[in-house]
DNA sequence: TTTAGGG
DNA sequence: CCCTAAA
């Protein structure tokens, strides 16, 4: 689209809330990005966190008291799932892909692969209201052809696929993460074998690499007593004391506050509302974490569980506190899963064949005692010891892929890709947050009898490799009753303890559907591209403000579940693109004129003053921008008009540029000369 | 944080 | 526009 109209620029009298320079600079400072290059948390991790939590919830739910083999199996799988989801350093991101068919598919996929496969977010995306969304791990798919596997189900039925599962697991711990006013609990793994200072310490990269554990670690079996208590279990398991931690450790959890980028306050500043739900920002580490998470690319949740960023509970809103207690309670029930993972740790970690379904491996002979301890532990919890035999044949599973329910998203055509991404992200988060459970499929059929043993069901080690499948399916029990008519679709809901979705930049727009968002300007999930809100009201900018039209999402559970083959991602995946490059905003002639005028007056080398003088209200123009623009202006003025590109700058302006440049260069030279003179005089 | 300059 | 050294 061509800019038809010039920017109405601020110094002409437009009143735009000035952006705090400090934040702006902080954001712009490259050092920050660099410094935290490793501290990314990708969308996938977020999903993992959510899913991990839910799976855990499910796992420890007292309601499922029976300890049938099936239940055990699910528990084990749950462990693996949540572990794996947080394990991979997949640089995933919600991407939109147009495969050239009528179907538009959106994938959560690896950055490096999306484009590789010819899927570009630049392609036209939102041309219909009913988008067919697929969550796919592109990196796990050799090519687009395989992806079409998912597509061929058509708009209504395509499956959402998420991630690969491998079965490599280590110890773990759970922690809290706040996304805006959402609070999630995340299960994270922990290198048990590491030195305490290594595994537990919070470095500057608190949010960084928690998954770089290459070697599976086998835990020694702990006496049940250890498993019973939260605190007692943690120490030996995780060695998580934090010697030089910059984080206070007076609490049991980690509270990470995600705040939005400063850009989000553009248009209207909401300094207070933004903070409403957050804990009082406290001590040392908080700022860093906050920054890291605000950097739009998150990696993995902080791994230390015994540290907390904030120490005051009293300031929490009641509902918040309640939530926290709730989580804390859950945590204490979640010790045993960690141990159970040992069970899984033995299965081969390396499987990169893109098979489908899962694999059975005989496991009866290995590491009997350790695993038995954990397994028995879980069974004891259910009150049954009878089924447990030390030499029981174990079925070893390797889940290579798992399906998640289908997502349907409705979004106006006028929405931008950026908002679409956010929307998908939110939908994904919501769908995972709405409650999932693991379904078991045998020979394509769902196994519903939870009480049957694996043997009875036919899930034995003699089984075929692909006979067994797993899927994630909506969990009706976790859905808000009011929003769940029958077993119908589950909706996004905002005021559940689960991930809360917010729609950014929604200036007073009513969200259709269930979400009533208190703080529309807080964007804690996406904040991708167009968070750079332009305060200068050009027609382009207003039209680009798509997020205003964000609508509520409706997610429909998939009826159609089938595992797609996926290949595990490499652990050291390429760093996803760091902080998003700012969108390009060509200078309008008006702006150029303002710039020239200011430079004529102030000279080159005083860009901050230039900024203040002429661009104070254009918060998207930094003094660096102005300096750069001047640089290019000078260059433009020197080249022939034929070589120039973009909106033509009047020759008159270019002449002034050259004149001013010459003048101030001369001045500068004079200054330098004088200084030199002074210096030599002193020396002599 | 700003400036200056290369990429 | 980004990144950074240097001030």
- Segment A374-428, tens digit of pLDDT: 222 222 223 233 333 344 677 677 776 666 666 677 777 777 777 777 777 767 6
A356-CA/C1-C1' distance, Å: 44
Q: What is the pLDDT of residue A578?
A: 55
Number of helices (H), then strands (E), belonging to chain A: the values are: 21, 15
Q: Which nucleotide is nearest to A610 (CA to C1')?
A: B2
Nearest nt (C1') to A587 (CA)? C1
CB A272 within 8 A of CB A160: no
* Distance from CA(A660) to C1'(C7), angstroms, rounded: 25
- Angstrom distance, A277 CA to C5 C1': 40
Measured from Cα to the C1' atom, the residue closest to B4 is A605
Task: Give the residue with greater pLDDT, A582 vs A239.
Answer: A582
Nucleotides of C under 7 A from a protein CB: 1-5
From CA A527, how far away is CA A422, in angstroms rounded?
7
pLDDT > 90 fraction of chain A, expressed in percent and rounded = 9
Strand B, CB < 7 A, residues 568-607 of A: 604-607
Residue A624 has pLDDT above 90, yes or no: yes
Residue A466 has a pLDDT of 62
Give Cα A194 to chain centroid, integer Å.
27
Nucleotide nearest the Cα atom of A532 (by C1'):
C1
Q: How far apart are CA A306 and CA A209, in angstroms?
A: 17
Distance A624 CA to C3 C1' (A): 11
Structure tokens at A102: 């009528």
* Nearest DNA or RNA nucleotide to A21 (CA to C1'): B1
Nucleotide nearest residue A32, measured CA to C1': C3
Sign of CA dihedral A515, A521, A523, A527: positive
Q: Which of the residue ranges A47-61, A461-475, A484-498 would you say has the lowest mean pLDDT? A: A484-498
Q: Which of residues 599-658 of A touch strand B (CB under 7 A)?
A: 604-609, 623-624, 627-628
pLDDT, residue A610, reads 93
Q: Mean pLDDT over all residues of chain A? A: 43
pLDDT at A661: 92
Residue A668 has pLDDT above 60, yes or no: yes
In this complex, which residue's CA is closest to the C1' atom of nucleotide B1? A25
Instruction: Specify which of A164-178, A195-209, A669-683 reaches the highest per-range mean pLDDT.
Output: A669-683
pTM of the model: 0.28
Location of structure tokens 């179907």: A103
* Per-residue confidence band for A473, with pLDDT thresholds at 50, 70 and 90: low
pLDDT of residue A97: 27
Contact status, residue A204 vs residue A251, Cβ threshold 8 Å: no
Question: Tens digits of per-residue pLDDT, A569-622?
Answer: 222 333 344 567 899 899 999 999 999 999 998 999 899 999 999 999 898 999
Instruction: Report the distance from CA of residue A13 to the C1' of nucleotide B6 in Å, as an integer.
Output: 36
In chain B, which nucleotides are within 7 Å of a protein Cβ?
Answer: 1-7
- Give the nearest nucleotide to A621, CA to C1': C1
Output the distance from A297 CA to C7 C1' rounded to whole Å: 32
Amino acid A21 CA to nucleotide B1 C1' distance, rounded Å:
10
Beta-ladder partners of A650: none
- pLDDT tens digits, A498-524: 222 222 322 222 222 222 222 222 222
Report residue A638's pLDDT band, with 50, 70 and 90 as the boundaries: very high
- CB neighbour list of residue A32: distance below 8 Å, 6 or more residues apart: A26, A291, A295
Is residue A154's pLDDT more than 60?
A: no
d(CA A288, C1' C1) / Å:
25
By C-alpha distance, which of A533, A543, A537, A528 is closest to A1? Answer: A543
Contacts of A480 (CB under 8 A, 6+ apart): A493, A496
Which nucleotide has the least CA–C1' distance to A579? C2
Interval A57-112: pLDDT, tens = 232 333 333 334 444 444 543 444 344 333 333 322 222 222 222 222 222 222 22
CA→C1' distance for A325 and B7 (Å):
52
The mean per-residue pLDDT over the stretch A644-652 comes to 90
Name all protein residues with C-beta less than 7 A from any atom of nucleic acid chain C: A 28-31, 33-34, 578-579, 581-585, 620, 624-625, 628, 631-632
A253: left (phi over 0), alpha (psi -120 to 50) or beta: beta
pLDDT at A471: 67
The C-alpha atoms of residue A241 and residue A247 are separated, in whole angstroms, by 11
Is the pLDDT at A27 greater than 60? The verdict is no
Assigned token pair, A632: 């290019």
3-state secondary structure of A140: helix
- Is the pLDDT score of A286 beyond 60? no
Q: Which residue has the higher pLDDT, A628 or A286?
A: A628
Q: Which phi and psi (to 5°) does residue A267 adopt?
A: 80, -70
Which nucleotide is the nearest neighbour of A28, by CA and C1'? C2
């Amino acid at each position: 689209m061509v800019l038809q109209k010039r920017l109405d620029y601020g110094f002409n009298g437009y009143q735009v809330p000035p952006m705090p320079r400090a934040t702006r600079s902080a954001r712009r400072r490259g050092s920050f990005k660099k410094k935290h290059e490793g501290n990314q948390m990708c969308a996938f991790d977020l999903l993992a966190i959510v899913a991990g939590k839910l799976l855990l919830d499910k796992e420890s739910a007292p309601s499922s008291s029976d300890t049938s083999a099936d239940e055990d199996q699910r528990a084990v799988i749950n462990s693996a799932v949540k572990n794996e989801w947080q394990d991979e350093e997949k640089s995933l991101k919600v991407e939109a892909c147009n495969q050239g068919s009528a179907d538009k598919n959106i994938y959560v996929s690896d950055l490096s692969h999306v484009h590789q496969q010819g899927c570009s977010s630049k392609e036209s995306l939102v041309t219909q209201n009913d988008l067919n969304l697929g969550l796919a791990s592109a990196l796990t798919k050799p090519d687009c052809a395989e992806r079409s596997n998912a597509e061929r189900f058509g708009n209504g039925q395509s499956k959402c696929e998420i991630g690969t599962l491998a079965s490599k697991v280590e110890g773990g711990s759970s922690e809290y993460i706040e996304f805006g006013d959402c609070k999630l609990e995340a299960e994270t793994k922990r290198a048990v074998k590491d030195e305490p200072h290594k595994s537990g310490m919070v470095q500057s990269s608190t949010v960084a690499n928690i998954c770089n554990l290459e070697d599976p670690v086998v835990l020694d079996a702990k006496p049940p007593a250890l498993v019973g208590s939260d605190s007692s279990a943690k120490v030996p398991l995780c060695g998580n004391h934090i010697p030089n931690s910059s984080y206070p450790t007076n609490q049991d959890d980690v509270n990470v506050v995600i705040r939005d980028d400063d850009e989000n306050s553009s248009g209207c500043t909401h300094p207070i509302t933004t903070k409403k739900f957050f804990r009082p920002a406290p001590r040392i580490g908080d700022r860093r974490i906050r920054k890291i998470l605000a950097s739009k690319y998150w990696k993995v949740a902080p791994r230390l569980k015994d540290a907390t960023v904030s120490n005051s509970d009293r300031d929490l809103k009641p509902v918040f506190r309640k939530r926290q207690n709730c989580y804390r309670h859950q945590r204490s029930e979640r010790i045993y899963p960690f141990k159970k993972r040992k069970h899984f740790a033995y299965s081969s970690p390396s499987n990169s064949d893109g098979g489908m379904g899962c694999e059975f491996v005989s496991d009866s002979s290995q590491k009997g005692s350790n695993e038995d301890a954990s397994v028995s532990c879980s069974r004891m919890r259910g009150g049954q010891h009878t089924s447990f035999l030390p030499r029981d044949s174990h079925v070893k599973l390797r889940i290579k892929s798992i399906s998640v329910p289908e997502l349907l998203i409705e979004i106006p055509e006028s929405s931008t890709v950026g908002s679409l991404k956010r929307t998908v992200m939110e939908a994904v988060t919501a769908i995972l947050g709405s409650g999932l459970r693991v379904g078991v499929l045998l020979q394509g059929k769902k196994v519903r009898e939870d009480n049957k043993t694996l043997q009875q069901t036919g899930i034995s080690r003699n089984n075929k490799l692909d006979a067994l499948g797993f899927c994630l399916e909506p969990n009706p029990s976790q859905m808000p009753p009011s929003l769940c008519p029958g077993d119908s679709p589950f909706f996004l809901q905002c005021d559940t303890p689960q991930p809360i979705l917010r729609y950014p930049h929604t200036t007073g727009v009513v969200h259709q559907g269930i979400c009533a968002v208190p703080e529309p300007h807080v964007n804690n999930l996406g904040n991708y591209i167009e968070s750079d809100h332009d305060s200068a009201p050009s027609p382009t900018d207003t039209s680009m403000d798509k997020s205003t039209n964000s609508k509520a999402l409706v997610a429909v559970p998939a009826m159609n579940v089938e595992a797609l083959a996926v290949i595990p991602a490499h652990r050291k995946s390429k760093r996803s693109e760091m902080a998003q490059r700012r969108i390009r905003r060509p200078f309008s002639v008006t702006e150029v004129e303002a710039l020239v005028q200011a430079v004529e007056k102030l000279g080159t080398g005083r860009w901050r003053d230039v900024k203040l003088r002429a661009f104070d209200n254009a918060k998207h123009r930094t003094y660096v921008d102005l300096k750069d623009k001047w640089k290019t202006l000078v260059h433009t003025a020197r080249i022939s008009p034929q070589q120039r590109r973009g909106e033509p700058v009047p020759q008159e302006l270019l002449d002034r540029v050259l004149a001013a440049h010459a003048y101030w260069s001369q001045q500068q030279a004079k200054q330098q000369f004088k200084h030199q003179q002074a210096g030599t005089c002193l020396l002599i």
